[in-house]
Amino acid sequence: MPEYHMTQAKKSELEIELIERKSVIRPTILDKLKAARELGDLKENAEYHVTRDEQGRNESRIREIEELLKFSRVVEKSDNGTIDLASHFSVKKVGADEEKEFLLVGPAEADFANGKIASTSPLGRAVIGKSVGNIIEVMSPKGEIKYEITNVE
């Protein structure tokens, strides 16, 4: 069985999305389907087919969220000074001054543009269990990059 690691915030976000998809989006789609059926011949009814596609995407997302929630494991930030899931941390390239801040999350909530990196990413795997002052090596398409961990919260 898969296990999806996520923060409590992500789990709450998924629960809210699931409620909205079931109680708001699903009925709206059903109303649109009913209206499209009343237009007549379904073979050439573009509105009907577009709405059926929308229904399929919504139902697929509902199933996906239900699975994520069913097999979710909420992770709590550890206070032992090492990086684990739900830890905020900062790194800088060795020899550089610019720091970058990240939140280590499970793959289901990774969002690099917003500073959330997956524990399964190269950087995520490299920082787990590390603490301030540790030097880590991360392979990138351009070769190996060395980072120093400068902060862990």
Q: Would 80 be classed as within a structural domain?
A: no
Domain end call among 43, 74, 105 = 74
Q: Would 83 be classed as within a structural domain?
A: no
Which CATH number belongs to the domain containing residue 93 in this structure?
3.10.50.30
Q: Are residues 147 and 100 in the same domain?
A: yes
Domain end call among 74, 102, 131 = 74
Q: Are residues 104 and 60 in the same domain?
A: no
Q: Are residues 8 and 67 in the same domain?
A: yes
Residue 103, C-beta contacts closer than 8 angstroms, at least 6 positions apart? 86, 87, 88, 115, 116, 117
The length of the chain is: 153
How high is the pLDDT of residue 111?
A: 93
**Amino acid, res. 27:** P
Q: What are the pLDDT digits (tens) for 56-68?
A: 999 999 999 999 9
Domain encompassing residue 60: 4-74
How high is the pLDDT of residue 40?
A: 77
DSSP 3-state of 93: strand
Q: Are residues 43 and 10 in the same domain?
A: yes
Q: Are residues 17 and 70 in the same domain?
A: yes
In the predicted model, residues of the chain with pLDDT beneath 50 are none
How high is the pLDDT of residue 94?
A: 93
How high is the pLDDT of residue 78?
A: 72
Conformational region of residue 92, where left means phi above 0, alpha means psi within -120 to 50, and beta covers everything else: beta
Query: How many structural domains does the chain have?
Result: 2
Q: What are the pLDDT digits (tens) for 9-25?
A: 889 999 999 999 999 99
What's the token pair of residue 99? 């720091």
Q: Would 38 be classed as within a structural domain?
A: yes
Domain end call among 74, 106, 122 = 74
Question: How would DSSP label each residue in 111-148?
Answer: BGGGTEEETTSHHHHHHTT--TT-EEEEEETTEEEEEE
Q: Would 82 be classed as within a structural domain?
A: no
